[in-house]
Structure 1
């Protein structure tokens, strides 16, 4: 018998001072049995840090092969932003950048190793695609705090992310590097 996804609820107060985005979000996130808490956390952070009208998690979650983890669609349903999580292969990023015109990668892994896998690979507008990473200790500590029902206050100011997750406060710099 196959295991089913576990549903997690996140009530998020988002205050992205850097972009002028202030929203109260109610996120229901299905965690696939093979998805790590660190990956799910990074997926949620990517959603919040890229938040704009039309943003959605992919329908297939971690098992989606033809969609990014997070994307932005316009009113016609066309993908306008392709947002990958983890360490996606170069072909996925290339295809997404061409399709959407804007792409980004968020990783909970070592960014040096993630960038190394793209060296010499063809990625459409690689220099314009940011790779965002976070301190590993932050990711590990925050992932350990995740429950089925979660409350979070997420603030971003001057490139620093402040997270209060289920009553515990954490902070990390948001490291941005181009893919190419």
Structure 2
């Protein structure tokens, strides 16, 4: 018998001063057995930091034609393609051609990602935003993760303040330019 996904619920207070987004919302995230906690926390952060009307989690590991997080307009067209982790160049190429904007959020070493993509064909690569966090930030956030979570996330001047279940952390949002 296969092990099913573990559901995590988050009650989120978001204050993204940099984008002018102030929202309180609840979100459920399924963590597939093959998905690490670090990946799931990064996926949740991508969801929050890109939050807008029409945002949703992608179909998961079994869906190859959707990213980890996406935004659809009222017609169902994908307007934002948001990858998490270390997507390959072909996925970025496909997503950036399909959507109006593309972003990648990673819990991995961004220098290694950039070197992996160097010399590969990625449509309009300069328009893709790669964001990372301080190296210890995600691993510290994972220790506070529970099945039911309360999250407060504030962003101002590129600095992120994060409180998950009474554990307070902060990290700058590092932006990297694709080759």
TM-score, normalised with respect to structure 1:
0.98
Q: Offset at 1:47?
A: 0.5
Which residue in 2 is equivalent to 1:165?
164
List runs of 5+ in structure 1 lacking aligned partners. Answer: none
Q: Matched residue of 2:25: which SS?
A: strand
Give a deviation string over 1:9-51, Cα, whole Å, max 9, x none. 0001000000110001101000000100000000000011111
Which residue in 1 is equivalent to 2:134?
135
Which residue in 1 is equivalent to 2:45?
45
Which residue in 2 is equivalent to 1:54?
54
Which residue in 2 is equivalent to 1:176?
175
Give a deviation string over 1:33-88, Cα, whole Å, max 9, x none. 01000000000000111111111101x22332111000010000000010000000
Which residue in 2 is equivalent to 1:152?
151
Q: Distance between the aligned counterparts of 1:114 and 1:145, measured in 2?
A: 27
Whether 1:22 aligns to 2:22 is yes
Q: Distance between the aligned counterparts of 2:143 and 2:62, measured in 1?
A: 23
Which residue in 1 is equivalent to 2:11?
11
Which residue in 2 is equivalent to 1:126?
125
Which residue in 2 is equivalent to 1:64?
63
Q: Distance between the aligned counterparts of 1:7 and 1:168, measured in 2?
A: 21
Whether 1:36 aligns to 2:36 is yes
Q: Distance between the aligned counterparts of 1:168 and 1:3, measured in 2?
A: 29
Superposed CA RMSD in Å reads: 0.7
Q: Distance between the aligned counterparts of 1:104 and 1:25, measured in 2?
A: 22
Runs of 4+ in structure 1 off by over 3 angstroms are: none
List runs of 5+ in structure 2 lacking aligned partners. Answer: none
TM-score, normalised with respect to structure 2:
0.98
Q: What is the count of residue pairs matched by the alignment?
A: 179
Q: Distance between the aligned counterparts of 1:62 and 1:113, measured in 2?
A: 22
Q: Matched residue of 1:135: which SS?
A: coil
